[in-house]
């Protein structure tokens, strides 16, 4: 999806060169990109698919990243006579080592050569662009609970700490994947009488057009079913919990506790993290009050000087990346 703002003069395209800054939020499920002007106004936005190399291979990730950039820039030629890309800042899941960053930069350099472009490139953590989006600064604590989960702590001196982010097999405590998986296990245990009835059973049966919940087995063991498909079941847990389902509430409370333990370990890495701003992001935090309140209550009981921020600005992480690019390269000639 693209949005863009036309720079016009009495209905005609402006001939004034517009300086733009690009931010990219690359994830395991989707990749969002935004372009802003020097005033911070979003002039183009595009959402593509995954650019996590551990989900789609490095080659596939780079191919999609180039497609996202092409689609982001395409509308600008019809709305702006001339524009100059001043810089790009990317926060990409699955890209953390020096070698991985160098490989991404090399791919973008190839892209620039093919398109006749030239602009500086910065690869930052997803925490930095998300904190910039919410706080308009790069330090604090970021806790992510979406399809996967992760925690970051960044001090005012720029020291970066991370606990979690090991993926759905080795970690992802408190994530949509784990909640979805536990929801499936719960409805099966309910079917067999090991647990009481749950409203999740009917919700899943209706949503997937099963004649009986036992058909779930044939669905989840298909070779085509992956991490995102399992994580999609978390929505039925969240909805059931909001409706008072005790089993669903228990799943969310347990997973909130798991993520709180991960975050507690993160906070123990540096004293400053005990009294900073905490930004919670991702679909589970966004949609589940049971999960959100449970997580918050545990941490505030342990660290009462923490401040939980909902986000002072209505910016996406991709917007945060673009704003960080502007901060880094606004003085570029």
Q: Domain 167-309 is of which CATH architecture?
A: 2-Layer Sandwich (3.30)
**Tokens coding 130:** 């998300």
What are the distances in angstroms from CA 18 to CA 1, 115, 332?
22, 18, 13
- Number of Cα atoms under 13 Å in the Cβ half of residue 211: 0
d(CA 53, CA 219): 26
pLDDT tens, the chain, 333 aa long = 555 555 554 445 555 678 999 999 998 788 999 999 999 999 999 999 999 998 889 999 999 999 999 999 998 876 665 788 999 999 998 888 999 999 999 999 999 999 999 999 999 988 899 899 988 888 999 999 988 899 999 999 999 999 998 888 998 999 999 999 999 999 999 999 999 999 999 999 999 999 999 999 999 999 999 988 999 999 999 999 999 999 999 999 999 999 999 999 999 999 999 999 999 988 999 999 999 999 999 999 999 999 998 655 568 899 999 999 999 998 765
d(CA 4, CA 330): 21
Same fold, 3-136+314-329 and 167-309: yes
**DSSP E strands: which ranges in the chain?**
3-4, 8-9, 12-13, 18-26, 30-37, 42-49, 83-92, 121-124, 140-145, 149-154, 160-164, 277-281, 307-309
Domain ranges of the chain: 3-136+314-329, 167-309
DSSP sequence for 264-292: HHHHTT-GGGGGSEEEEESHHHHH-HHHH
- pTM for the model: 0.81
According to CATH, what is the number of the domain 3-136+314-329?
Answer: 3.30.420.40
């Amino acid at each position: 999806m693209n949005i863009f703002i036309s720079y016009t003069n009495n209905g005609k395209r402006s001939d004034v060169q517009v300086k733009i800054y690009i931010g990219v939020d690359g994830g395991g499920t989707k990749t969002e990109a935004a372009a802003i002007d020097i005033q911070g106004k979003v002039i183009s936005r595009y959402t593509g698919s995954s650019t996590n190399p551990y989900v789609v291979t490095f080659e596939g990730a780079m191919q999609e990243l180039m497609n996202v950039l092409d689609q982001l820039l395409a509308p600008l030629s019809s709305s702006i006579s001339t524009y100059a890309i001043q810089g790009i800042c990317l926060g990409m899941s699955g890209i953390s080592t020096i070698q991985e960053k160098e490989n991404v930069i090399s791919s973008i350099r190839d892209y620039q050569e093919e398109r006749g472009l030239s602009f500086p490139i910065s690869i930052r953590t997803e925490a930095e662009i998300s904190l910039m989006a919410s706080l308009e600064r790069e330090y604090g604590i970021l806790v992510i609970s979406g399809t996967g989960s992760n925690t970051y702590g960044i001090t005012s001196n720029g020291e970066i700490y991370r606990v979690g982010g090991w993926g759905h097999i080795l970690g992802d405590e408190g994530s949509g994947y784990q909640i979805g998986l536990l929801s499936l296990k719960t409805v099966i245990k309910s079917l067999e009488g090991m647990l009481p009835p749950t409203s999740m059973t009917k919700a899943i049966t209706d949503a997937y057009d099963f004649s009986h919940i036992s058909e779930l087995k044939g669905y989840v063991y298909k070779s085509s079913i992956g991490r995102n498909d399992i994580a999609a079941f978390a929505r039925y847990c969240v909805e059931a919990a909001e409706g008072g389902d005790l089993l669903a509430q228990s799943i969310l409370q347990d997973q909130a506790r798991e993520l709180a333990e991960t975050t507690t370990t993160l906070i123990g890495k540096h004293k400053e993290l005990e009294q900073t701003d905490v930004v919670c992001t991702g679909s589970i935090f966004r949609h589940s009050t049971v999960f959100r309140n449970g997580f918050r209550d545990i941490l505030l009981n342990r660290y009462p000087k923490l401040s939980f921020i909902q986000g002072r600005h209505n910016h996406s992480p991709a917007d945060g990346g673009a704003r960080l690019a502007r901060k880094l390269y606004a003085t570029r000639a």
